[in-house]
Structure 1
Amino acid sequence: MRWLTLNLLLVLLSAAYAQLPGSAAGAFHGMPNGNAAPGEISNLTLQQSYGIGPRTRVLAAMVGWFGSPKHASIGYHSDDPAQVVRQLGMMQALGIGGVTIAWYSSEDQDLSGRTAAVVLRQAERMQDFAFALRINEGMLKWYAKGRQPTAVLIQELRLASQNFFQSPAYLKVGGRPVVLFFGFESFPIDWGQVKASVPGNPLFVFRNSKGFDLPGSDGAFAWGPANDFSYLDRFYQAVSNHRNEIAIGDLHKGFNDTAASWSKNRVVDQRCGETFLDTVHALPHSLPFVQLVTWDDYEEGTELETGIDNCVTVTLEPATALGVRWSVSGNENAVDHYEVQTSPDGTSFTTVARLRPRQHAYSGSLNGTVRVVAVGKSLFLNRYSPVERVESEK
């Protein structure tokens, strides 16, 4: 009762539930692979919803290649500075403290090559928001041009040191820049030579649990959306055996690459948000970093930018001046709370009560019209009941 009273006082100070400005394009209408149509995303932070502590920095993985004819049309260009402002602003509002971005080569003149610099510039304008490169194996597959892999990597990392590592926004641990490597496991690289040849004494972090054991490794990051849950079990077990190394956990909603030109028809069901919640529950409390995989990969169905659909529907029973009841379908585990809102004209709503999940009734004075909002946990979409007119007492 005390919880309800305190929160009721808080919500009555403002009008209807504050909306979080989204960064997805208004012209985007969802995709069959599980990317939700943009809606109102809960404005709760990841820390509020999931107990992520202040010692864990949340990162968002970006791909940054949309707007190119090589990729699906999602309504925006990833290298548009205004779009990047919206994206990073939304991230910070959700408690995200930085990004990692796919980077292929200093020779990449395509849109993805430009996006990294745009994102870095915006991160530099923000307070306590970090940026890191996630170097993709495409550097050696597509840009090496027959050159020896070690030499190519040294050359590229030296340029990265000049253009990225020296930025005050670049992610550093102990003053050393952190570099993620995606897919470099099979290349014949002299990692000792690479590390000795790159200014700034960077820390190298490799993909998957085996990344801890690769030559030159300073840690590993999880990237598990396309895998079953045993992947994260193995990764966090490896983390426990490498406590003095950098570990970056993984939060993801699912996977569906059927919209990608490189599709292997791999699908990991979102289960109305339960897959994401499972990754939250598996997360060790002591990790220095956790990464959202991903913010914007629409083609593999992992993007979180449009919000996660919890499949919730709220249906009101006839409302009276003395209160209202409602029923709920969908995944109520992904609901943070319910808000009962009233309006004299059906357009401008004020919150009159806030109730815990699985409380489906409100007893109190109502008038005009009423609706109930299922406010999602962080990253989940809010869901609204239809508006009902309050029946007068007879």
Structure 2
Amino acid sequence: MMGSYFIDVATTMNILFIHQNFPAQFKFLAPALVRQGHVVHALCMRQPSHAGQWQGVQVHTYKAERGSAADVHPWVKDFEAKVIRGQACWEAAQALKAQGFVPDVIIAHHGWGESLFLKDVWPHAKLGIYCEFFYNQHGADAGFDPEFPVREQGNANRLRLKNLNNLLHFDDADAGISPTHWQASTFPEPFRNRITVVHDGIDTQAVAPNPAVRLTLKTSAGQQISLSRQNEVVTFVNRNLEPYRGYHVFMRALPELLRRKPQARILIVGGDDVSYGARPEGGRKWKDIFASEVRPQISDSDWSRVHFLGTVPYQYFIPLLQLSSVHVYLTYPFVLSWSLLEAMSAGCAIVASDTKPLHEVIRHDETGRLVNFFDPAELAQQVCALLDDPAARQRLGANARALATSTYDLNTVCLPRQLDWVTALGRVIM
């Protein structure tokens, strides 16, 4: 064929999403592509609530028929699990192909291995992968917290093999998308040059300050308390309460914080499972371990002001952020949580750990305050200082919201850029 030219297929694309927990990070992007007129399908692990159709997306489910072998080498146990999921997704893709569906573009969160073999089913489809994190032996989460050293012999070897899934995708993927510059920076060259940084997006109109907000909570003693912006409220939010997100540091700051602020209410959101890192020994829960550690230092009356709320439905989560006087966010050098940007969008005054993922969004004493991750005393001091300074809270919260709306707004910034990325991915060079 003589010469080359671009054919823009964006108006007629068949698009396939891959995510074991679909829609997850694609909950805004997939319906937006439907609204543009594309034919959109998704493959995910078996979730009956999503089977069939979801906001115009045809959702197909699959499940792995087996788990990892008990005697598999521990260094490759993670990769075996990804291969098992990849096989299950590959079989579902074969069935979808037999029904006549041929995607122009596949967009996959490849972290669990589902998309490992999809190019073998549709070799001409363009593959874009969601680049959440690349494991590194230095400069990220591994070895960051000396309180929890990795005792497993050969851990560096295990980490190297943990990246097999990433490395195998680099050969197949045509492009990547990553929510933050720091997360993209964990990926090695030359693939890093193919990663576009666009956050998933925050609906800053829905997540906005509300001075009139009120929230009624039931305490562990069965009493109801009603809180408003007139109360001193400190919030701490994570999917699960665990060291990766600084739960141990936050709990160790509580005795001093509660002593100095006798009216403050502490609202802690998060489950008692583990999302990241190792589980504690003996079947215990990180939540209980660190609560038990600090409890002898806290009087009964002060402890009654600490409220563990568990996992909170989203319709109550936003009022909780709007209620916050000071929001605390701590993390290892790891994936940045949506909840931080939602707190910024809600206008929270934020105290955060001075770790690399935070440097993109928290500028010290401009959009929040940064503290040493390992220093509970400094954390307590900064939280108390902000509780005593309404003007500083107002300034930091307003600046945090301004950054959220200008850089991370779903409808004006992130979603248009995501759609542009999909359009570019769908261009065919002939």
Same topology, TM > 0.5 = no
Structure ranking higher in helix proportion? 2
Taking structure 2 as the reference length, the TM-score comes to 0.29
Structure ranking higher in strand proportion? 1
